[in-house]
Amino acid sequence: MARAGAALRPLRGRDPLGLRRALAGWLLPALVGAMALLAALAIAGAAGAGRLAERWEQAAAGQVIVQVPPAQAEAALARLRALPGVAEASVVAEERLRALLAPWLGEVPGLPLPVMIELRLTERAGEAALREAAAAIPGAQLERRGEAVTQALRVAEGVRGLAFVLLGIIAAVAVALVAVATRAGLAARRETITILHELGARDADIAGRFAARLALLCAGGALAGLAVALPALWLLAEAAIPVALSRPAAAADLPWAPLGLLPPAAAGIGWLTARLAVGAWLRRLP
Q: In the bound complex, what is the minimum distance in angstroms from residue 191's beta carbon to another protein? A: 7
Window 183-202: contact mask with another protein (x via CB under 8 A): --------xx--xxxxxxxx
- The reply to whether 257 sits near another protein by the rule CB under 8 A is no
- Residues 6+ positions from 8 with CB-CB distance below 8 Å: 202
Site for another protein in 195-234 (CB under 8 A): 195-203, 205
Task: Write down the least CB distance from residue 259 to another protein, Å.
Answer: 38
- Rounded CA gap, 176 and 71, in Å? 72
**For 256-261, which contacts have Cβ atoms below 8 Å and span 24 or more sequence positions?**
258/43, 258/47, 259/40, 259/43, 259/44, 259/226, 259/229, 259/230, 259/233
x-or-dash string of contact with another protein, 19-48, rule CB under 8 A: --x---------------------------
Whole-angstrom Cα distance, residue 193 to residue 206? 7
Q: Which is nearer to another protein, 63 or 192 (CB)?
A: 192
4 binds another protein (CB under 8 A): yes
| Cβ burial 145-171 (10 Å sphere, 16+ → b, else e) | eeeebeebbeebeebbeebeebbeebe
> Angle of helix 190-199 relative to helix 203-240, nearest 10 degrees?
130
Cβ proximity to another protein: between 103 and 286 the closer is: 286
Residue among 109 and 286 whose Cβ is closer to another protein: 286
179 and 239 in contact (C-beta within 8 Å)?
no
> Does 9 sit near another protein (CB under 8 A)?
yes
6 versus 257: smaller Cβ distance to another protein: 6
What lies within 8 Å, CB to CB, of 62 at 6+ separation is 87, 120, 121, 122
Residue 247 or residue 283: which is nearer to another protein going by CB?
A: 283
Judged by CB, which is closer to another protein: 19, or 218?
A: 19
16 near another protein, rule: CB under 8 A: yes
- Shortest distance, CB of residue 284 to another protein, whole angstroms? 11
Show the site string, 266-285: x = touches another protein by CB under 8 A, - = not: -----------------x--
CA distance 282 to 286: 9
Q: Which of 278, 267, 265 is nearest to 185 (CA)?
A: 278
Nearest Cα neighbor of 88 from 122, 112, 114, 46 is 122
CB of 265 to another protein, least distance (A): 30
Judge whether 123 and 68 are in contact, CB under 8 Å: no
Pick 78 or 285: Cβ nearer another protein = 285
At position 40, the amino acid (one-letter code) is A
Q: Which stretch binds another protein (CB under 8 A): 3-11, 114-122, 228-236, 272-280?
A: 3-11
Q: Which is nearer to another protein, 80 or 196 (CB)?
A: 196
**Residue ranges in contact with another protein by CB under 8 A:** 1-14, 16, 18, 21, 191-192, 195-203, 205, 283, 286
